[in-house]
Amino acid sequence: MDEAGSLGIPLEVALAVSSSEPEGQLSELRDWMAELRPAVCAWLVFPEHEPYTGGNPSEEIARLANRILKPNAPSIPLAVGTNTDFIFLKRTRLPLQWMDQVCITLNPQVHAFDLQSMVETLEVQPVVIESARRMAQGRPVRVSPITFRPRFNPYATGPQAQSTPGELPPQVDVRQASLFGAGWTLGSLRAMVAGGSESVTYYETTGWLGVMESEKGSPLPHLFPSVAGSVFPLYHVLADYGEFAGGQACALSAASPLIFSALALKRGEHTRYILANHTAESLTIELETDGETLDVWSLDATNAESGMRDPEGYRQKAGVPTRTQNGVALFHLQPYGLIRADHHPVRSTHFLLGFSRDAGVSS
């Protein structure tokens, strides 16, 4: 709650409700919220235990949440769904009469763990959102959270196993702090826009599951190397997006979505393009635009460390003016690199044309 207050954003309150004492838990939450009075944007409620075979008590929990939480805050939407894999949502009938929205979670490592497989999941994310929307008969879809790995084992039949001392916990992925992780995050943001999600929550705030390292640094630096107090590269993707709060977002069509992702943001006359290379090779990407000049920032292996150690300094630097040729801008992305390109003003629609693996050669 303190972090939300510091960031100036409302809370998305998620409660995994015990089937043995649901009314007591929900009443305790109501009383706690009445005492502290934080700003809340949504309630998310789901059973503490979700059987894989379906038949969880979502309807009873949703009914109680409406009776207990709604009277004091009728304008705050109540989201009901799953706190684990999407298949769990499909195995239980949604209590449509008691819910305003449906909530789901996503992670790219349920079945495979290599980089290519993780990128391939980006094309599936809009499909999952649309499927959840259909199941909820058109109600908005809230995705919370998106993480790199499952947060727990939903198929376990007993207590969750503790991580072995000296090893990374199973929910931690070193790619959280990598350029690849930043590019994957951009691809996921694009997927959320394409799928029309109502809202999305990514990661945690600090630590090896967050967007920046803690002040103490990594507990296992030999396995999860990082710099205490620094940000991770994906911080800049979220910052690039957040600077256009209140604007519009457009999922740009990529010639090869498994190679790169691109997103356009617009607020007023200011347009921003964010592009990410998902591969270990350099790419040249073409963007059609009516602007004559774009201000361009790169984030790649040549400057990632400085951008992590001094994020404010990185973001305050002036972009490199880049002129278009016959209405087409060429962007050269380093392996797993990202580019932010700003144009002001803008007067028409923009879209991606193609890419080339050989820098300087367009297709």
pLDDT digits (tens, 9 = 90+) for 336-346: 999 999 987 64
- 296-319 residue pLDDT tens: 999 999 999 999 999 999 999 999
Using CA atoms, how far residue 245 sits from 158, 248, 249, 267, 270, in Å, is: 43, 8, 10, 8, 12
Task: Check whether residue 234 and residue 273 sit in a common domain.
Answer: no
Q: Quote the pLDDT of residue 361.
A: 31
Report whether 19 contacts 59 (CB < 8 A). no
Whether residue 140 has pLDDT greater than 60: yes
Averaged pLDDT, 206-225: 96
Domain-ending residue, one of 242, 258, 284? 242
- Angle, vertex CA 259, rays to CA 224 and CA 117, nearest 5: 55
Please choose, from the candidates 363, 357, 300, the residue with its C-alpha nearest in 3D space to the C-alpha of residue 334.
300
Q: DSSP letters along 297-317, please?
A: EEESTTTHHHHHH-HHHHHHS
pLDDT confidence of 332, banded at 50, 70, 90?
very high
Domain boundary among 226, 242, 258: 242
| Residues ≥6 apart with Cβ < 8 Å to 52 | 87, 88, 91, 154, 155
Distance from chain centroid for Cα 333:
22
Residue 124 CA: distances (Å) to CA of 98, 118, 121, 192: 28, 11, 5, 11
Do 108 and 41 fall within a single domain? yes
| CB proximity list for 159: less than 8 A, separation 6 or greater | none
pLDDT of residue 52: 77
Quote the percentage of the chain above a pLDDT of 90.
73
Same domain, 222 and 263: no
Domain count, the chain: 2
Q: Check whether 100 has a pLDDT greater than 70.
A: yes
Please provide residue 170's backbone torsions phi and psi, each rounded to the nearest 5 degrees: -65, -20
pTM of the predicted model as reported, rounded to 2 decimal places? 0.92
Q: Are strands 78-81 and 40-47 parallel, antiparallel or unpaired?
A: parallel
Question: Smallest Cα–Cα separation from 107: which of 160, 49, 154, 140?
Answer: 154
d(CA 253, CA 262): 7
Confidence at residue 109, expressed as pLDDT on a 0 to 100 scale:
95
Q: Which residue has the tokens 């201000």?
A: 295
In this structure, are 349 and 214 located in the same domain?
no
Query: Chain-centre distance of CA 332, in angstroms?
Result: 25
**Cα–Cα distance measured from residue 341 to residue 16, given in angstroms and rounded to the nearest whole number:** 41
Whole domain around residue 309: which residue ranges?
A: 248-356
Q: Is residue 143 one of the residues assigned to a domain?
A: yes
Say if CB 108 and CB 131 are below 8 A apart: no
- pLDDT at residue number 357: 47
Per-residue pLDDT tens for 146-175?
A: 999 999 888 877 777 777 889 999 999 999
pLDDT above 60 for 355: no
What's the pLDDT tens digit per position in 245-294? Answer: 999 999 998 778 899 999 999 999 899 999 999 999 999 999 888 778 89
Residue where one domain finishes, among candidates 242, 262, 296: 242
- Report yes or no on 237 lying in a domain: yes
Same-domain pairing of 221 and 304: no
- Averaged pLDDT score across all residues of the chain: 90
Q: Is 7 helix (H, G, I), strand (E, B) or coil?
A: helix
Residue 237 pLDDT > 50, yes or no? yes
Write the CATH number for 117: 3.20.20.80
Residues 19 and 61 in one domain: yes
CB atoms within 10 A of CB 236: 25
Q: Are 122 and 184 spatial neighbours (Cβ–Cβ below 8 Å)?
A: yes
Residues 78 and 187 grouped into a single domain:
yes
What pLDDT is recorded for position 350?
44
